[in-house]
Amino acid sequence: MKRPTLETLRRKKAAGEPIASMTAYDASFAAALERAGIDFILVGDSLGMVIQGRDSTLGVTVGDIAYHCRCVHAGAPRTLLVADLPFMSYATTAQALGNAARLLREGNAQMVKMEGGAWLADTVRALDERGIPVCGHLGLLPQSVHKLGGYRVQGRDEASAAALLEEARILEQAGARMLVLECVPAALAARVSGELSIPVIGIGAGARVDGQVLVLHDALGMNPSMPRFCRDFLTGAGGIEAAFRAYVAAVRERSFPAPGESFE
């Protein structure tokens, strides 16, 4: 079986079939996710917190992401792989081109993800024109935690919701092929998903988007301060692979996230 491509995700959105994604950082968990039927795996810079034990994602390097991409691809060679560009690795278009190329070449990634809005438009265009698909990331941007003053829900007032919607449009027009929305009110996320033709993947963004992504450790209930938008899929599942299957099923039937796991 060949690795799915972004076209597979685009078709799912067009058909109204929810996309299930999770982060992974090593071969064993990636293999279990592949067996469970996950649609794509994200090697997120969340690895700075859940693997390296840091208090933010800011210390993660491109080398770290490339290494974990190689591990994940070794375990899940038939799963679409998306790689995060970490903090300050895409501050200029030239940096983004070099670092993204490295993640595709060395890490076997098929797409890179970058946090930010309109300021990234030229970079998104440059990458896409050169054959590197980009996933945008709006809402709560963990790489900007010091500017945001903490990990908080974004887009709650009218002005910031309108700004987020506009940034999403700009990213799509610039060539972004997918968008992650993190910690935004469910109604705003639904609006973004409805207006964009690219898949919109939520985390803490309600169920009315085109798919969900969760940090692996959160989905296994390993976060001592489980955020409201996470669910422990392991307890009661009977094993890790069964937990992944339960997650994929819950996303596909839109029973995850429930209203109580979303923001207003």
3-class secondary-structure state, position 138:
strand
Contact with ligand KIV (CB under 6 A): which of 6, 41, 46, 90?
46
Q: Which residue is nearest to ligand KIV (CB)?
A: 44
Q: What separation in angstroms does the CA of 76 have from each of 40, 47, 171, 236, 245?
A: 10, 18, 29, 25, 15
Instruction: Pick between residue 42 and residue 220 the one whose CB is nearest to ligand KIV.
Output: 42
3-class secondary-structure state, position 70:
helix
3-state helix, strand, coil in the chain (%, to 5): 45, 15, 40
17 token code pair: 């079939």
Q: Report the nearest approach of ligand KIV to the CB of residue 55 (Å).
A: 14
Catalytic pick among 115, 172, 182, 253: 182
Contacts (CB under 6 A) with ligand KIV, residues 73-92 = 84
Q: Report the nearest approach of ligand KIV to the CB of residue 23 (Å).
A: 4
Q: Report the nearest approach of ligand KIV to the CB of residue 219 (Å).
A: 11
- Four-residue CA torsion sign, 198, 103, 205, 241: positive
Q: Report the nearest approach of ligand KIV to the CB of residue 238 (Å).
A: 26
- Binding window for ligand KIV (CB under 6 A); candidates: 42-50, 64-72, 104-112, 230-238: 42-50
3-class secondary-structure state, position 23:
strand
Q: How far apart are CA 173 and CA 128, in angstroms?
A: 11
Contacts (CB under 6 A) with ligand KIV, residues 103-162 = none
Instruction: Pick between residue 75 and residue 211 the one whose CB is nearest to ligand KIV.
Output: 211
Q: Which residues bind ligand KIV (CB under 6 A)?
A: 23, 42, 44-46, 84, 180, 182, 203, 213, 215
